[in-house]
Amino acid sequence: MCLSKFKKMIKKHHNYFLFLIILISIVDKKAFSVDDSDILIDRVFMTAVKKKKYQKVEEMIDKDAAINYKDSDDLVALAYALANNDKKMFKLLVSKGANPKIKILKDTSILIYYISINKYSLIDSIIESGVDVDFQDRVGMTALMHAIEKENVNAVSSLIEKKFNKAITDFSGKTIFDYSNDSRSLVIKKLIQRVNTIN
């Protein structure tokens, strides 16, 4: 059909086309809603996690938001809950099926991520959720190695109380004792010296 014929048809049946457009916009109004569209549901979910909107998070999960969805930064909702030090959100997500063993940031665990951003108060909750304390990232470093390297004293103190493999090495052959020797923190050096007596 050529353009001129189409224009004539629209002119002739103007009211019909107008009615059709209005009908479609009314019927599909909900489908085009920014918060509820299938296209944006995972982003709405992630934003709700970041802003500590617990009710909205549950609502999005009920609407089939992908609870282990990775954003453009290769982070998941659990990582954002941890970045906020939000124990309530972390537990909510785990209870709804979020995978605490998921790899983020190209082969990093959520425990390593949490320690790397210099946090420590939720370490027990993370480990209780099923995360492997001895998980090694792409260079073979464990959470404890990262804690020592970052001089995250509270994380080191917490982690050495857990059951872990003190003989494990990174992929260059370094142990936690080597990391401790390289550390400038005398507190960390003393904590790691205690490892032989408590593990």
Are 180 and 153 in contact by the 8 Å Cβ rule? The answer is no
Structural domain boundaries in the chain: 33-99, 100-121+129-199
Q: What is the pLDDT of residue 4?
A: 64
Chain Cα centroid distance, residue 24: 38
| Rounded distance between C-alpha atoms, residue 6 and residue 3, angstroms | 5
- Per CATH, 33-99 and 100-121+129-199 having the same topology is answered yes
Tell me the residue type at 141. Answer: M
Tell me the residue type at 173. Answer: G
Are 188 and 150 in contact by the 8 Å Cβ rule? The answer is no
Nearest to 48 by CA among 60, 40, 30, 39: 60
| Rounded distance between C-alpha atoms, residue 164 and residue 134, angstroms | 6
| Rounded distance between C-alpha atoms, residue 120 and residue 102, angstroms | 19
| Yes or no: domain 33-99 corresponds to CATH 3.40.50.300 | no
Q: What is the CA radius of gyration of the chain?
A: 26
Q: What is the pLDDT of residue 186?
A: 94
Q: What is the pLDDT of residue 33?
A: 45
Backbone conformation region of residue 151, classed left if phi is above 0, alpha if psi is from -120 to 50, else beta: left
User: How many residues does this entry show for the chain?
Assistant: 199
β-sheet bridge partners, residue 104: 108
Q: What's the topology of domain 100-121+129-199?
A: 1.25.40
DSSP state of 32: G
Q: What is the pLDDT of residue 66?
A: 92
Tell me the residue type at 13. Answer: H
Write down the number of H helices and E strands in the chain. 13, 0
Q: What is the pLDDT of residue 194?
A: 85
Consecutive 10-residue averages of pLDDT for the chain (199 residues): 58 60 56 51 92 95 92 94 97 96 94 95 95 95 97 95 93 95 93 76
